[in-house]
Structure 1
Amino acid sequence: MTNPTTGQPAIPADVPAGVMIRPMTPADVPAAEHLSAEAFLEVARAHAPRGAAEPRLRSRARADLWVTRTLRFLESDAAGCWVAEGGGELLGFATSYRRDTTWFLATYAVRPGIQGRGLGKALLATALDHSRGALRGMLSSSDDPRAFRRYRLAGFDLHPQMFLSGEVDRSAVPFVERVREATRGDIDLMNSVDRATRGAAHGSDHEFLFAHHRAIVVDHRTGEGYAYFDDRGVALLAASNRRTATSLLWAALAEAEGETSVPHVTAANQWAIDVGLAAGLSLRTQGYLGVRGMKPPTPYIHHGSLL
């Protein structure tokens, strides 16, 4: 709820004693990155599949990318970014943003060892104030049961996500037509596909994605779409139909060297599972897509924080 006097979000009354919830500042972002890395590492270790490699903290390069992305959220959506502070230390945070009429939760974390005390509930409630008036909401959850319980209580429908990973079987990769390298001149096309699939354009997020990923596009009378990918795998894919989406995913996988991944695949996107399995990748579940006021986008593979 918004404070009618100040116009700012009203801080929930049940904030734990000694804790202050306040707007995030740029100075908070490095500490928030470190806290999120520790929190997500703890969840990854608790839910790692048997026989999987030991989870590790994100690399320095990925940490720097996290900081850059979060500073952008502060520039565009300061009202959706909050921290919890106690004893002079950062205890938790939530970053969220709006694109068109859809609200997105980028990242939400509480310091390991102090979860379950009401801090996360208060943080999320404050960030959700930024969603007032939005027609839709979307988030990507880890496997932490405390987090997805909170999302469900906040009115989000939860859809299990699947994760494809492994080395691509080169003999299985088909010849793909009509896929070309994307340029920033394609951003209007990309935004149009975004609106058709998830109800909101990525807007300025495309500039960030272009700066840190390779991008390919299909612009044809039979279908339109695009994909971003890097040496870790597919970051985001959207298309006007499944045939186009399939072509884009094969084209991205054809560029993979060594271990690659296709994360954030929902049951609405069986075409992506078919491509991944045909390419020799393995499949497992990981986390949930949370949506409110909408169905899981398709044909679409969402980004972890830019969704």
Structure 2
Amino acid sequence: MTHPTMSKPSIRADVPTGVMIRPMTAADVPVAERLSAEAFLAVDLANPRPDTGPPELRSESRGELWVTRTLRFLETDAAGCWVAERDGEVLGFATSFRRDTTWFLATYAVRTDLQGQGLGKALLAIALDHSRGSLRGMLSASDDPRAVRRYRLAGFDLHPQMYLSGEVDRHVLPAVERVRDATPGDISMMDSVDRATRGAAHGSDHEYLMETCRAIIVDHRMGEGYAYFDDRGLALLAATTRGTATDLLWAALAETDGETSIHHVTAANQWAIDVGMTAGLSLRTRGFLGVRGMKPPAPYIHHGSLL
């Protein structure tokens, strides 16, 4: 079966006067982290949610993880990472990467007081150059209507995302068999599951995830899969069958203590909604999954930036 290559990006953008778009360097990464934290805080303030308290700036510890992850993108995909600069000051940036034949947009932000001036359009256009020759594309978008519009103009199909949150009702937790902690030796199997679900392995991204999250797997003739989670909730889940995915999600929820969350659930993954609701979590909508040349992966719950 053959697949069409992702079409040439439809966005056309002129760089604003006085602005230079150049490759991102390691020295830019801490600056970009703070810029992105402020930009996403502004989106959260403009789109308050009833189930949480007042939005807060990304914590220092989460910021350190962001910096570590982005420095890895510079090692593997320097051609997909760019900043917009004027008079030596970083005004915006975009980071993207390729795994196998799929392109992913990791993060994309413009300084809040400069949005709407064409910087975002120019950054996205040059990041999309890194997608040329890819069969598929994937990104996770916030509720920012301007960014979502740009993604649609770039040819991405937009699928609303849902999330579940709350405290797990521990009386309904089922007994789950065949789940064990993952090890680096399992990455080959995990990459195989990635290719079966989203069309591309995570590759070296698994190493980062194992360093920052707990990883569990099911490796059985009836189904294979894995899940990553931390103290905030589920980070990523992929499986070859819905039954295996369901077992992994229940196993992850059993490890929670207090409030937890399952983000980035699409309509293609109703099994996750069923598990979350049975566990007593509340369902709401937030953001969009953007895909080109592919359908929303299933059974699969994507990572916010590693997809």
- The verdict on a shared fold, with TM-score over 0.5 as the criterion, is yes
Aligned to 2:170: 170
Aligned to 2:193: 193
Extract structure 1 runs of 4+ deviating beyond 4 A: none
- TM-score normalised according to structure 1 size: 0.95
Q: Among all aligned residue pairs of Structure 1 and Structure 2, give the percentage whose two residues are the same amino acid.
A: 78
Moved more, 45-54 or 27-36: 45-54
Whole-Å Cα distance in 1 between the matches of residues 127 and 280 of structure 2? 40
Aligned to 2:153: 153
Whole-Å Cα distance in 1 between the matches of residues 279 and 54 of structure 2? 25
Q: CA RMSD in A?
A: 0.8
Secondary structure, counterpart of 2:269 in structure 1? helix
Whole-Å Cα distance in 2 between the matches of residues 186 and 208 of structure 1? 14
Secondary structure, counterpart of 2:268 in structure 1? helix
Moved more, 44-53 or 145-154: 44-53
1:1-150 aligned at under 5 Å gives the runs 14-50=14-50, 52-150=52-150
Whole-Å Cα distance in 2 between the matches of residues 29 and 305 of structure 1? 15
Whole-Å Cα distance in 2 between the matches of residues 96 and 34 of structure 1? 18
Residues 130-186 of structure 1: per-residue CA shift (max 9 Å, x gap): 000000000000000001100000000000000111110000111111111111111
Q: Contact conserved, 2:13 with 2:125, CA < 8 A, in 1?
A: no
1:306, distance to aligned residue in structure 2 (A):
0.4
1:51, distance to aligned residue in structure 2 (A):
5.7
Aligned to 1:253: 253
Q: Contact conserved, 2:229 with 2:236, CA < 8 A, in 1?
A: yes
- Alpha-carbon distance change, 30 to 301 in structure 1, aligned in 2, over 3 angstroms: same
Whole-Å Cα distance in 2 between the matches of residues 180 and 120 of structure 1? 43
1:13, distance to aligned residue in structure 2 (A):
6.1
Q: Contact conserved, 2:161 with 2:286, CA < 8 A, in 1?
A: yes
Whole-Å Cα distance in 2 between the matches of residues 283 and 110 of structure 1? 30
1:222-241 aligned at under 5 Å gives the runs 222-241=222-241
1:52, distance to aligned residue in structure 2 (A):
2.8
Whole-Å Cα distance in 1 between the matches of residues 275 and 55 of structure 2? 26
Q: Contact conserved, 2:13 with 2:121, CA < 8 A, in 1?
A: no
Aligned to 1:294: 294
1:113, distance to aligned residue in structure 2 (A):
1.6
Residues 61-117 of structure 1: per-residue CA shift (max 9 Å, x gap): 100000000000001000000000113211100000000000000000000021111
Secondary structure, counterpart of 2:114 in structure 1? coil
Aligned to 2:3: none
Secondary structure, counterpart of 2:248 in structure 1? helix
Whole-Å Cα distance in 1 between the matches of residues 140 and 77 of structure 2? 18
Secondary structure, counterpart of 1:284 in structure 2? strand
Aligned to 1:210: 210
Letter in 1 for 2:47: H
Structure 1 residue runs of 5 or longer lacking an equivalent are 1-11
Structure 2 residue runs of 5 or longer lacking an equivalent are 1-11
Letter in 1 for 2:186: D
Paired residue total: 296
Secondary structure, counterpart of 1:130 in structure 2? helix
Whole-Å Cα distance in 2 between the matches of residues 191 and 31 of structure 1? 32
- Alpha-carbon distance change, 274 to 199 in structure 1, aligned in 2, over 3 angstroms: same
